[in-house]
Structure 1
Amino acid sequence: MKIASIQGFHAGFSPTPALGNASTFIRRRDFLLVRVVTESGVVGWGEVFASPFAAAALIKTKLAPLLLGQPVRDYGRLYHAMLGTLGYDRRGPAMMAASAIDMALHDAAARCQGISVAAMLGGALRDRALAYASGPFIAEGGSPYGAYPEQVDALLRRGFRAIKPRAGFDPRADGVMTKALRRQVGEDVALMVDINQGYGVGSAIESARRMEEAGLLWIEEPLQPEDIPGYQTVARSVPCAIAGGEALASLAAFRDFLAARTFSVLQPDLTVCGGFTGFRRVAALADAYDLPVMPHVFGTLVNFHAALQMAALLPARRGGGPAPYPFIEYDATPNPLLTVLGTPELDSAGMVALPEGPGIGLELDPERLAPWLTESWTLGRE
């Protein structure tokens, strides 16, 4: 089935309160949802979360002429055609634009066959994955971690067995916070922290050492994403696993980090690293270094559903916590673009099931996006 049109839906909202991390307070969350429509009416969805407006311009001007009229089943050939347009922009919005299209092509191609993306790509290795709560977040004011105990209790009541609060306010406070949370949740709940690129090397090492008693599964993105020597120093200086990769886009970027032995847990994001095609290339590279891989997800229901399909394809690896890796990241904040079709439910073991429908398992009518829509456009035939 050939591509008749490509549609873009710009949607966003302002979280209240703002979501704080070590680098910023997020006051606005904007996304681009991309919908590929075939001549027979079969559709596929993709997402851009990091640079939605720039990616939209690139889809309109550079990618659409390559794609319109092409068969959706040729997603591999089309991926390489899209990469051929990137020029110098191999780690920015152009790669994110290609990522969204690749996601949508896979979704549509699997729907054309009446099967899931996981089935189309060789068969799911599991039908559910442990969900870890992405949160709580740092608060504005004089008590950045003050609400964490109450918020973590709420996450436990929702059924989460793994929780990743934001850290990075300062090393001493990080140590106090994580040790208190460990006492609160007990030994059977996994704890990790995300520093969101907020520290330099020295403060990252000090923070990791102060948090050591908490028994964290990993410390995520303690440094800026391009600082390979810094990550090497941190990884060699602390016993806790260092995680990262969400900000990396090109295969070469992942190669450089893995060759430098910087990460113990790799977290590519489908919306950044090239969709399903790019993610699978990264996962194959990680296999050569015997590293666990799991999808980073902090966006809408589109990337969440796609990430579940990808998680189903990844081999299991022991890393600690209530279940083998891969885990699936679950945005635990009020996010209407994640819950527009209902809140993803956890089972009694804190796991979320792989959707049963074709493609990524998502039946989304664009009209459901209306309350959060700021702009939409169509390329090709309506």
Structure 2
Amino acid sequence: MKVIGIRGFLVGFAPRPALGNAATFIRRREVLLVQLVGEDGTTGWGEAFNAPAAAAALIRTRMAPLVLGQQADAMGRVYNAMLGTLGYDRRGAGMMAISAIDMALHDLAARARGISVARMLGGALRDRMLAYASGPFIAEGPDPYGAYPAQVDALLSRGFRAIKPRVGVAPRADGDVMRAMRRQVGPDTALMVDINQGYTVGAALASLRHMEEADLLWVEEPLQPEDLGGYQAVAAAARCAIAGGEALASLAGFRDFLVARTFSVLQPDMAVCGGFTGFRRILALADAFDVPAMPHVFGSLVNAHAALQMGALIGARRGGGPAPYPFIEVDVTPNPLLTLLGPVEPGADGCIAVPDAPGLGFELAPERLAPFVTDHWEITP
């Protein structure tokens, strides 16, 4: 099936309250959703994260001619053609644009065959994945962690068996809140933390020391994403796994961090690193270094469904916690772009089902996006 149209939807909303992490307070969340249209009317969805407006400009000016008229299942040829447009931009908006197109091509090709993306790519290894709650988030005001106990109780009542709060207010405060959280959840719930690139090496090491008693499964992004030497120092001193990779895009970037033995858990984001094709290349590299990988997810239902399909293809690894890796990240903040088709909740086993419906496993009419659209465009031959 040939691609005869590309539609772009810049969508966003203002979270209430603002979502705090160690680096900033998020007051506006935006993503680019791309819909490819096949010649029989079948469509496929993709997503670009972090730099959506720039990714949209690159799709419209550079990549659309490489996609229109191509067969949907020519993902490899299109991917390599798009890589050829990047020039110097191999870790930024260019890769995010490629991510959206590649994801949408996979969705479209699988829908055209009436099968899931996971089945198209060789067959799912699992039909359920352990869900971990991405939250709570730091609050503005004098008590940034004050609401965590009640929020964690709510997450436990929803069935989550793994929770990843944001920390990074100060090393001693991090230790206090995480030791208390460990007492609250007991020994069987996995706890991880995300520092969102907020610390220097010294502060990160101090925070890790204060949090040791919390028995963390991993500490995520304690430093700026390309601080290779800093990550080496932290990884060498840490008594738990160091996780990261969501802000890396190029295969070479992941290679450098793996060679340096910085990450014990790799977290490429499919809306950043090149969609299914990019993630699978990185996964092969991670396998060569015996490092488990799983998708980072913090956007709309499109990337969340893509991550489930990709997660179903990843071999099981015993990294600790209540189940083998890979886990699936679930944004537990009020996010209407994630819950457009209904809430995302784990089952009684703490897991989320991998859809077996065609493509990414959902049906989304563009009209559902209308309340969130700030820009919309369409390109045809």
Structure 1 vs Structure 2: percent identity of aligned residues? 72
Q: CA deviation at 1:10?
A: 1.0
Distance 1:28 1:61 in 2: 26
What is the correspondence of 1:53-72 to structure 2 with a 5 Å cutoff? Answer: 53-72=53-72
Paired residue for 1:116?
116
Distance 1:374 1:268 in 2: 27
What is the correspondence of 1:297-312 to structure 2 with a 5 Å cutoff? Answer: 297-312=297-312
Paired residue for 1:41?
41
Q: CA deviation at 1:372?
A: 1.0
Paired residue for 2:237?
237
- Structure 1: 5+ residue runs without aligned partners? none
Amino acid in structure 1 at the alignment position of 2:49: F
Q: CA deviation at 1:171?
A: 0.3
Q: Determine helix, strand or coil for the equivalent of 2:226.
A: coil
1:105-155 CA-to-partner distances (Å, cap 9, x unmatched) read: 000001111111000111100001001000000000111101000000111
Paired residue for 2:151?
151
Paired residue for 1:169?
169
Q: Determine helix, strand or coil for the equivalent of 1:47.
A: strand
What is the correspondence of 1:185-334 to structure 2 with a 5 Å cutoff? Answer: 185-334=185-334
Distance 1:96 1:168 in 2: 27
TM-score when normalising by structure 1: 0.99
1:3-62 CA-to-partner distances (Å, cap 9, x unmatched) read: 000000111100000000000000000111000001111111000121000000000000
Distance 2:33 2:125 in 1: 28
Amino acid in structure 1 at the alignment position of 2:101: I
Q: CA deviation at 1:267?
A: 0.2
- Structure 2: 5+ residue runs without aligned partners? none
Amino acid in structure 2 at the alignment position of 1:235: A
Q: CA deviation at 1:231?
A: 0.1
Distance 2:89 2:131 in 1: 33
Distance 2:375 2:278 in 1: 28
The answer to whether residue 19 in structure 2 is matched with residue 3 in structure 1 is: no
Distance 1:39 1:238 in 2: 53
Q: CA deviation at 1:184?
A: 0.3
Q: Determine helix, strand or coil for the equivalent of 1:313.
A: coil
Q: CA deviation at 1:349?
A: 1.1
Q: CA deviation at 1:374?
A: 1.2
Q: Determine helix, strand or coil for the equivalent of 2:376.
A: strand
TM-score when normalising by structure 2: 0.99
Q: Determine helix, strand or coil for the equivalent of 2:36.
A: strand
Amino acid in structure 1 at the alignment position of 2:220: E
Q: CA deviation at 1:345?
A: 2.8
Distance 2:154 2:334 in 1: 13
Distance 2:57 2:238 in 1: 43
The answer to whether residue 365 in structure 2 is matched with residue 365 in structure 1 is: yes
1:218-254 CA-to-partner distances (Å, cap 9, x unmatched) read: 0000000010000000000111100000000000000
Q: CA deviation at 1:84?
A: 0.5
Distance 1:66 1:111 in 2: 21
Q: CA deviation at 1:356?
A: 2.2
Distance 1:355 1:265 in 2: 25
Q: Determine helix, strand or coil for the equivalent of 1:95.
A: helix
Distance 1:7 1:171 in 2: 46
Q: CA deviation at 1:273?
A: 0.5
1:160-182 CA-to-partner distances (Å, cap 9, x unmatched) read: 10000000110000000000000
Q: CA deviation at 1:293?
A: 0.5
The answer to whether residue 183 in structure 2 is matched with residue 183 in structure 1 is: yes
What is the correspondence of 1:12-51 to structure 2 with a 5 Å cutoff? Answer: 12-51=12-51
Amino acid in structure 1 at the alignment position of 2:88: Y
Q: Determine helix, strand or coil for the equivalent of 1:211.
A: helix
Q: Determine helix, strand or coil for the equivalent of 1:85.
A: coil
Q: Aligned-residue CA RMSD in angstroms?
A: 0.6
Q: Determine helix, strand or coil for the equivalent of 1:272.
A: coil
Q: Determine helix, strand or coil for the equivalent of 2:323.
A: coil
Distance 1:205 1:31 in 2: 33
What is the correspondence of 1:76-91 to structure 2 with a 5 Å cutoff? Answer: 76-91=76-91
Paired residue for 1:141?
141
Q: CA deviation at 1:344?
A: 2.0
Q: CA deviation at 1:378?
A: 0.4
1:66-103 CA-to-partner distances (Å, cap 9, x unmatched) read: 11111111011100000000000000001100010000
Amino acid in structure 2 at the alignment position of 1:375: D
Distance 1:347 1:373 in 2: 32
Distance 1:41 1:266 in 2: 37
Distance 1:97 1:217 in 2: 32
Distance 1:129 1:292 in 2: 15
Paired residue for 1:129?
129
Q: Determine helix, strand or coil for the equivalent of 1:73.
A: coil
